[in-house]
Amino acid sequence: MGDGPGTTRFLAQRLGAPLGLMSLLGGCSSASVLNPAGPIAGANRTILVNATVIMLVIIVPTIIATLAFAWWYREGNAKADYKPDFVYSGRIELLVWSIPLLTIMFLGGVIWIGSHQLDPHKPIAGKTAPLEVQVVALDWKWLFIYPQQGIATVNVLPLPAGVPVHFRLTSASVMNTFFIPRLGSQIYTMNGMETQLWLQADKVGSYPGLSAHFSGDGFPRMRFQAVAMPPQQFAAWTAQARAGGRVLDARTYPLLAKQSQGVKPFTIGAVQPNIFDAIVRQQLPPSAGPQEGRGGPDVKPSGGK
């Protein structure tokens, strides 16, 4: 389970036909925010759709009215009233201003309620205990630490389907964003600071994740896959991951934190306790950040092949 291809093979064997079928059915919309696979993404889609419908309620009649007025008051229509001295109508002013104001108030209410319901710190209710995942944005790759399991991954995020996931996030370099469109809310990560996010994958499948904030040369390739699998298969994966030879601790972390692009997914079988907190508190020095002409080959902790 140490190398990237091994990880890919294992996940493919575990997920098998469901993933293949999903990739065929997903098509170009497989990573769309309008194709949710979890409760947070579903609520996000509802807000987007509701806001669009509310705006169309005023936009469509306005377009129709514009065309109708242009046709009715055309030069060749003798039935249209011509009033060159017309200046003001209180009824027209009331109509012109009240409809947009009511629309804005309605939109504001929908977004206000939705934003509080989707507070990133608000836990997702579930029948099982949540999974804890610690996320570190590096240059230019993603480090995922599973403190309960004592393992970590790079550029791949296995998750148990149907289980709430509590993310703690930070950046070891410049500001970045963590975003899995089909699972939900985008959130920023900053060096020396920690934020939180709750997500859940309701369906088995593979969901593309990305950085949505420019962070230097390797930004276009700073992507990962969130792979949701049945809880029993997730437990089997964690057991196999612990058999890996790599170790993440204060000695190997600086090697992993070096700038690199296009890093293939791999797992780390042993993780030093509280290393995430050490990164947040900058007890482990932050990375230098993007610099011109930098960005080398794959970098991995020692102990593996």
The residues pairing with 135 across neighbouring beta strands, listed in sequence order, are: 144, 169
| pLDDT over threshold 60, residue 5 | no
> Same domain, yes or no, for 148 and 204?
yes
pLDDT class of 30 with cuts at 50, 70, 90 = low
pLDDT single digits (tens) 248-277: 999 999 999 898 888 899 999 999 999 999
Across 51-55, 134-138, 275-279, least confident range:
51-55
- The boundaries of the domain holding residue 251 are 1-30+122-305
Query: What is the per-residue pLDDT for 292?
Result: 52
> Same domain, yes or no, for 305 and 164?
yes
> Same domain, yes or no, for 244 and 113?
no
Place of tokens 């009715």: 72
In Å, how far are 207, 217, 223 from 210, measured between CA atoms?
A: 10, 15, 4
Across 50-64, 88-102, 203-217, 290-304, least confident range:
290-304
Element at 304 (helix H, strand E): none
Query: What is the per-residue pLDDT for 301?
Result: 55
pLDDT class of 305 with cuts at 50, 70, 90 = very low
> Same domain, yes or no, for 263 and 180?
yes
From 117, 135, 168, the end of a domain falls on 117
> Same domain, yes or no, for 240 and 305?
yes
> Same domain, yes or no, for 130 and 273?
yes
> Same domain, yes or no, for 110 and 215?
no
| pLDDT over threshold 80, residue 2 | no
**What is the C-alpha separation between 160 and 182, in angstroms, rounded?**
15
> Same domain, yes or no, for 130 and 223?
yes
Token pair in block for residue 237: 């994966």
> Same domain, yes or no, for 109 and 137?
no
Confirm whether pTM is higher than 0.85.
no
Query: How many domains does the structure of the chain reveal?
Result: 2
pLDDT single digits (tens) 157-196: 999 999 999 999 999 988 999 999 999 888 999 999 999 9
E runs forming strands in the chain = 131-138, 141-146, 151-154, 156-160, 165-171, 176-180, 184-189, 195-199, 205-210, 223-229, 247-248, 266-268, 270-271
From 92, 117, 142, the end of a domain falls on 117
> Could you tell me the sign of the dihedral formed by the alpha carbons of 16, 19, 25, 28, in that order?
negative
> Same domain, yes or no, for 213 and 258?
yes
